[in-house]
Amino acid sequence: MTSSDTHPAPATRAFPPGFAWGTATAAYQVEGAVAEDGRTPSIWDTFSHTPGRVTGGDTGDVADDHYHRFREDIAIMKDLGLTSYRFSVAWPRITPDVTPQTTGPVNAAGVAFYSTLVDELLAAGIEPAVTLYHWDLPQALEDAGGWASRATAERFAEYAGVVAGALGDRVRTFITLNEPWCSAYLGYASGVHAPGRTEPAAALAAVHHLNLAHGLGAAAVRRAAPGARVALTLNLAWVRTEGGGDADADAVRRVDGLQNRVFLDPVLTGRYPADVLADTASVTDWSFVRPGDLELVQQPLDALGVNYYSPTVVRAHDGSGPRARADGHGDSEHSPWIAAADVEFPELPGPRTDMGWSIDARGLRELLVRLHTEHPGLELVVTENGAAYPDVLVDGAVHDADRIAYLHDHLGAVLDAVEAGAPVTGYYLWSFLDNFEWAYGFSKRFGVVHVDYATQVRTPKDSAAWYAGVIAAHALGAPQAR
């Protein structure tokens, strides 16, 4: 009898060759330096400086000071063995004087920052993946209507072309938008995100103008950088019900339409889902969709980015008692779910993260397999997945076993999807650093690297070491720290 008979090694499961190992961040959440080198305000500067909008009155003024500390941060990434880093470009650094009519001059200092960041990443052997819009809309565009206005999509395309022209010789992948669901519905319907408007018709106009921005932006990127790969990142919902009635099934259909199909269908098939147009007919006639728009929206896509954190469980509300609203999307009297007043979101039993989001890794597998089934051949990348926990730094260490368990289970779900045939080519953990978590400010920690906001000292958590071990092995073993 050998020792391996008595102590079998934990089963390890390998990832496909070439699978990309990343982490993700977004400009306003990490950079700081909001008034440096010609940057002008975005809607998140305005929103975070408005009393009552963000927990603790936190702002992204300094955030992780990544604008000045990116070299140190890249050294940590290299240490972890990351093969890719997904970051976003702040639009107000690139075309700070944009107006609805004109893009204005390109800010050389803003371009230079990202150009240096890209060079340093490449020198460290880390491939940059660039998100062009992660929610920091120039305030001047919001003042003229924001995403409810078509001009915003047109100016976005020009900005996208500028960035692709400047970085496209070194950056292979450009992601046009991050989670347009949040931009449209949290920004313009529930108002828990910037610009904080609560106008359902404007939110649906924003949905279309974001889809249009993706299409126009994708074409602009390809013109400026013909070799570039173009992707779009969506936060898709794994929607299900525990109720058995027709009304419960209809609640699933409604939420699937508003969250998934209203983005997937125009982008991938060139049409809006008829049921969503009908469901929302009392709010808008969708006349902001002009003839020819859908051809502009449906551009070839090199990969679809999928962000997944938590399952979505719905049921029909029968009108008796208050409507359960545990959708995980913040607290507002105004619902992000337009024309869905009879759909409710029950509290789920079981484990949750510090965001209150319930944990169910099956959803990631189900989403990836669904996308593969409905759109065979479409390359898929998990562009965000991770968890907030109330981490504490003790004696220079953060023992975040709960985050490791979450990541282990979700990476397992990615492998399940791959084994079911889904072409998933990479995984970007949210997030590299603890950072400004939008309306929650600095109260929620998603990083695998702890940040002390008073000193800006970075401390890799146990999860960082664990992730480094997964990357080094290119395989998933047991959920223990290295």
Site for ligand FCB in 17-36 (CB under 6 A): 26, 29
Let me know: does 15 contact 418? Beta carbons within 8 Å: yes
CB closer to ligand FCB out of 288 and 357: 357
Which residue is catalytic, options 31, 127, 142, 179? 179
Site for ligand FCB in 359-378 (CB under 6 A): none
Residue 88 CB, shortest distance to ligand FCB, in Å, is 9
Q: Position of tokens 């809006």?
A: 272
CB closer to ligand FCB out of 89 and 182: 182
Question: Counting contacts by CB under 6 A, is residue 437 touching ligand FCB?
Answer: yes
3-state secondary structure (DSSP) of residue 345: strand
Question: Counting contacts by CB under 6 A, is residue 438 touching ligand FCB?
Answer: yes
Residue 431 CB, shortest distance to ligand FCB, in Å, is 7
Pick the closest to residue 117 from 168, 173, 63, 67 (CA basis). Answer: 67
Site for ligand FCB in 95-134 (CB under 6 A): none
The tokens for 312 are: 């979505």
Site for ligand FCB in 448-477 (CB under 6 A): none
Residue 103 CB, shortest distance to ligand FCB, in Å, is 25
Site track for ligand FCB across 181-200, x = CB under 6 A: -x------------------
CB closer to ligand FCB out of 128 and 161: 128
Alpha helices in 225-256 (DSSP H): 246-256
DSSP class per residue in 171-228: --EEEEEE-HHIIIIIHHTS-SSTT----HHHHHHHHHHHHHHHHHHHHHHHHH-TT-
CB closer to ligand FCB out of 182 and 343: 182
Question: Counting contacts by CB under 6 A, is residue 178 touching ligand FCB?
Answer: yes
Site for ligand FCB in 381-400 (CB under 6 A): 384
Binding segment for ligand FCB (CB under 6 A), chosen from 177-185, 238-246, 288-296, 418-426, is 177-185
Q: Which residues contact 140 (CB under 8 A, 6 or more apart)?
A: 40, 97, 98, 99, 100
CB closer to ligand FCB out of 179 and 265: 179
First to last CA, the chain: 28
Question: Counting contacts by CB under 6 A, is residue 179 touching ligand FCB?
Answer: yes
Residue 312 CB, shortest distance to ligand FCB, in Å, is 13
CB closer to ligand FCB out of 231 and 294: 231
CB closer to ligand FCB out of 161 and 305: 305
CA distance 216 to 324: 39
The tokens for 427 are: 């995984």
Among 156, 432, 446, 467, binds ligand FCB (CB under 6 A): 446
Residue 307 CB, shortest distance to ligand FCB, in Å, is 6
Site for ligand FCB in 218-257 (CB under 6 A): 235
Binding segment for ligand FCB (CB under 6 A), chosen from 35-43, 64-72, 401-409, 430-438, is 430-438
Residue 33 CB, shortest distance to ligand FCB, in Å, is 18
Let me know: does 180 contact 240? Beta carbons within 8 Å: no
Question: Counting contacts by CB under 6 A, is residue 59 touching ligand FCB?
Answer: no
User: In the beta sheet, which residues pair with residue 23?
Assistant: 85, 429
Which residue is catalytic, options 142, 344, 384, 437? 384
Site track for ligand FCB across 283-322, x = CB under 6 A: ------------------------x---------------
Pick the closest to residue 182 from 364, 355, 307 (CA basis). Answer: 307
Let me know: does 129 contact 428? Beta carbons within 8 Å: yes
Q: Is 384 considered catalytic here?
A: yes
CA distance 279 to 25: 35
Q: How far is CA 38 from CA 80, 112, 313, in A?
A: 33, 12, 45
Residue 21 falls in which region: left (phi positive, over 0), alpha (psi -120 to 50) or beta: beta
Residue 60 CB, shortest distance to ligand FCB, in Å, is 12
Pick the closest to residue 213 from 165, 158, 173 (CA basis). Answer: 158
Let me know: does 163 contact 132? Beta carbons within 8 Å: yes
- What is the sign of the dihedral through the CA atoms of 92, 96, 99 and 105? negative
As annotated, the active-site residues are 179, 384
Question: For binding to ligand FCB (CB under 6 A), which residues are involved?
Answer: 26, 29, 178-179, 182, 235, 307, 384, 430, 437-438, 446
